Amino acid sequence: MRFTRYTDLCLRVLMYAGLRHPELSSISVIAEAYDVPESHLTKVVHDLGRAGLLETVRGRGGGLRLAKPLSEINLGAVVRLTETDFKLVECMAPASGNCCLEPACTLTPIFEKAMKSFFDVLDQYTLEDLLKPRRALARLLDLKL
């Protein structure tokens, strides 16, 4: 399994906003810190705002900040929000119907159990956990704490 670039950027934006919390951050500054196009981050920020994870402030002096405490932003929930396909193999998709082994296959239940375990682990962590090396992260992003 591999996360999309979109999920990666969502997590990075949340981490950046978490390091600056409760101060505002701007898309342009975050884009520069991560060396990604602002256009990519605009969609990410919009979607995270619609999901209630970020608060966006318009106008001069505006920006973005976390809309919830660090401890309430669950890693598993963010991944479920941002990823759309958790089917590890084609036969796990309900409409596939292409596997001749389906009536006797043991792979699908094993992969389903593995995916459940994967999310069980992610669900144990929050944004607060991701930001424990706060000073080291701030140094890497050239932030003043």
Query: The domain containing residue 79 runs over which residues?
Result: 5-86+126-140
Give domain status of residue 114, yes or no: no
Residue 114 vs residue 145, higher pLDDT: 114
Does residue 115 form part of some domain? no
* Structural domain contains residue 145: no
Report how many domains make up the chain.
Answer: 1
Could you report the per-residue pLDDT of 39-54, keeping only the tens digit for each?
999 999 999 999 999 9
> Which CATH number characterizes residue 56's domain?
1.10.10.10
- For 84-129, the pLDDT digits (tens) are 887 766 666 666 567 777 777 788 888 889 999 999 999 999 999 9
Distance CA 97, CA 143 (A): 51
Stretch 68-77: mean pLDDT: 97
% of the chain at pLDDT higher than 70:
92
Do the domain assignments include residue 95?
no
Q: What is the pLDDT of residues 15-41, one digit of tens each?
A: 999 999 999 999 999 999 999 999 999
Give rounded-to-5 percent helix, strand, coil for the chain: 55, 10, 35
> Is 113 a member of any domain?
no
Residue 106 lies in a domain: no
Residue 76: is its pLDDT beyond 70? yes
Give this prediction's pTM: 0.87
